């Protein structure tokens, strides 16, 4: 029987979430206190030992990322919390920010201490008005209580900045450009942000959930945290579950739980006959329901099953959903959100929508299926940022797994008036 493990979510049921004293009375700032007993280098070492991997999607080891920050650059070091959360199907950071804002502030303070930063930024999705309100109130309290600010013990400032509704600004270098007041377009890497990030200074960018996990690692001790999950996927993970489940919502479980048991024991089971499962947000490959048996929710098992943990945006679609319609829906989203810098992404995304649309409306031309595959292969790996791969991944996996939904042969081919 799979059970929830509310390590990060343990205080989400209180309505006094922007009351600093209430946070302290529940053990708040114990993690920071314990971290301050160590040197910054030891704090980084502990985060490495915890096995924590970034929860924003790529799963990069957090301690290793912090360790890349040069200590002798002579420039200021910045911490940026990525709270852009725009991946379709993903809504877990919002819960953390709205229900336990000091957990994030504490995690950011530990991270700032470790990397030698005096300034942290929270780049928050523009549409998250309520999360912005809660965080602003919490920051005001932290300043008035002298936990933050120039006169505080650590002298750390945390500044909150609202995005303007562009999905691409979740990509870390586009986010940095946007934060600098430039167009939100990704930068070519290398150089990586740890060396040349915000205002060309060393910068660490971490997801909201990652930074909240840091607080718990220090509060509970690294041994306890590292004992959760599997050998290579340590700790807990939040999943935002939607679709044909009886109890959609945000759930936190130890990494490595069985996917089907998770759906049955925690999400209340399924209310219809399942067909398609996307476990990590719209940018990861789709699975057929028949492939889900025995698959565990951790980085390695999901990779072995041909998909990814991604952001933890877990979507289950029923038999009434056509894979073609889903591919068209996703491709419209990506075509709208492309920043336009790279021709394969900018033009390719539009062409994919055009072709999928005519297939969907039963007006496809002979060879359209091949055209989609060829377009996808010209986009993937040929762009500045991973958006290009994210765009083609769901389409290719849906076409491969559900060829019957893309069955061109059964359509009445019609030549459009343009030809
Ligand atoms: C198109 C695109 C969108 C992204 N959106 C987000 C996002 O909304 N939130 C996030 O934390 N990471 C997002 N990422 C990943 C970030 O670039 C980066 O890897 C992450 O913030 C690093 O934090 P972590 O190491 O704690 O996961 C996105 C990446 C891409 C390519
Ligand atoms: S892949 Fe797309 S989103 Fe990324 S930089 Fe190129 S055009 Fe912009």
Where exactly are the structural domains of the chain?
20-226, 236-318, 323-410
How confident is the model at residue 239, as a pLDDT?
98
* Position 344 pLDDT exceeds 50: yes
Whether the predicted model's global pTM rises above the 0.85 cut: yes
Distance CA 117, CA 367 (A): 55
Distance CA 403, CA 401 (A): 6
Residue 356 near ligand 2, beta carbon < 6 Å: no
How confident is the model at residue 408, as a pLDDT?
55
How confident is the model at residue 418, as a pLDDT?
32
Angle at 204 between CA 138 and CA 213, to 5 degrees: 55
* Position 407 pLDDT exceeds 80: no
Ligand nearest to the CA of 338: 2
171 Cα to the center of ligand 1, angstroms: 5
Domain 20-226 bears CATH identifier 3.30.2310.20: no
* Position 417 pLDDT exceeds 50: no
185 Cα to the center of ligand 1, angstroms: 14
Burial of 231 (0-12, 13-18, 19+ CB in 10 A): exposed
Residue 388 near ligand 2, beta carbon < 6 Å: yes
Domain 236-318 bears CATH identifier 3.10.20.600: yes
Alpha-helix runs per DSSP H in 305-363: 323-337, 343-360
- Measured by CA distance, the residue closest to atom 8 of ligand 2 is 339
Give the confidence band of 71 by pLDDT, cuts at 50, 70, 90: confident
* Position 406 pLDDT exceeds 60: yes
Average pLDDT value for residue range 225-231: 97
Ligand nearest to the CA of 382: 2
Helix (H) or strand (E) holding 10: none
Ligand nearest to the CA of 192: 1
* Position 326 pLDDT exceeds 60: yes
* Position 100 pLDDT exceeds 80: yes
pLDDT single digits (tens) 252-280: 999 999 999 999 999 999 999 999 999 99
Q: Are 115 and 78 a contacting pair, CB within 8 Å?
A: no
- Residue to mutate (ligand 2; options 331, 383, 391; most atoms within 8 A of CB): 383
**Of the options 1.20.1440.230, 3.40.30.10, 3.30.2010.10, 1.10.10.10, the CATH number for the domain spanning 323-410:** 1.20.1440.230
**Average pLDDT, whole number, for the chain?**
95
- Residue to mutate (ligand 1; options 56, 188, 206; most atoms within 8 A of CB): 56
268 Cα to the center of ligand 1, angstroms: 30
119, β-bridge pairs: 78, 157
Give the confidence band of 411 by pLDDT, cuts at 50, 70, 90: very low
- Residue to mutate (ligand 2; options 186, 283, 347; most atoms within 8 A of CB): 186
* Position 27 pLDDT exceeds 90: yes
How confident is the model at residue 409, as a pLDDT?
54
How confident is the model at residue 414, as a pLDDT?
39
Placement of tokens 């297939």 in the chain = 359
Average pLDDT value for residue range 343-365: 94
How confident is the model at residue 364, as a pLDDT?
84
pLDDT single digits (tens) 153-189: 999 999 999 999 999 999 999 999 999 999 999 999 9
């Amino acid at each position: 029987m799979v059970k929830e493990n509310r390590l990060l979510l343990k205080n989400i049921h209180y309505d006094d979430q922007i009351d600093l004293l209430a946070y302290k009375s529940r053990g708040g700032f114990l993690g920071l206190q314990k971290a301050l007993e160590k040197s910054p280098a030891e704090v980084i070492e502990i985060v490495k030992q915890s096995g924590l991997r970034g929860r924003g999607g790529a799963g990069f080891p957090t301690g290793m990322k912090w360790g890349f920050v040069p200590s002798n650059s002579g420039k200021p070091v910045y911490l940026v919390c990525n709270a852009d959360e725009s991946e379709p199907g993903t809504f877990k950071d919002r819960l953390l920010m709205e229900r336990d804002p000091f957990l994030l502030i504490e995690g950011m303070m530990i991270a700032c201490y470790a990397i030698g930063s005096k300034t942290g930024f929270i780049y928050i999705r523009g549409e998250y008005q309520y999360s912005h309100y809660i965080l602003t109130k919490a920051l005001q309290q932290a300043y008035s209580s002298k936990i933050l600010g120039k006169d505080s013990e650590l002298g750390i400032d945390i500044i909150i900045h609202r995005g303007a509704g562009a999905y691409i600004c979740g990509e870390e270098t586009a986010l940095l450009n946007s934060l600098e007041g430039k167009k939100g377009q990704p930068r070519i890497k290398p150089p990586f942000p740890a060396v040349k990030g915000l205002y060309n200074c060393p910068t660490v960018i971490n997801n909201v959930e990652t930074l909240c996990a840091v607080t718990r690692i220090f509060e509970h001790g690294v041994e306890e945290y590292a004992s959760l999950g599997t050998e290579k996927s340590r700790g807990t993970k939040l999943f935002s579950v939607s679709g044909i489940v009886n109890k959609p919502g945000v759930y936190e479980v130890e990494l490595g739980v069985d996917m089907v048991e998770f759906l049955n024991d925690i999400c209340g089971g399924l209310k219809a006959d399942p067909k398609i499962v996307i476990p990590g947000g719209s940018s990861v490959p789709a699975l057929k329901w028949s492939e889900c048996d025995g698959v565990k929710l951790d980085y390695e098992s999901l990779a072995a099953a041909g998909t990814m943990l991604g952001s933890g945006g877990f979507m289950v679609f029923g038999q009434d959903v056509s894979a073609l319609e889903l591919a068209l829906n996703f491709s419209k989203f990506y075509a709208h959100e492309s920043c336009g810098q790279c021709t394969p992404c900018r033009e390719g995304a539009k062409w994919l929508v055009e072709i999928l649309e005519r297939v969907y409306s039963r007006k496809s031309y002979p060879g359209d299926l091949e055209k989609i595959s060829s377009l996808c292969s010209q986009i993937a790996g040929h762009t500045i940022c991973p958006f290009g791969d994210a765009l083609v991944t769901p389409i290719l996996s849906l076409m491969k797994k559900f060829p019957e939904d893309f069955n061109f042969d059964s359509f009445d081919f019609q030549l459009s008036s343009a030809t």
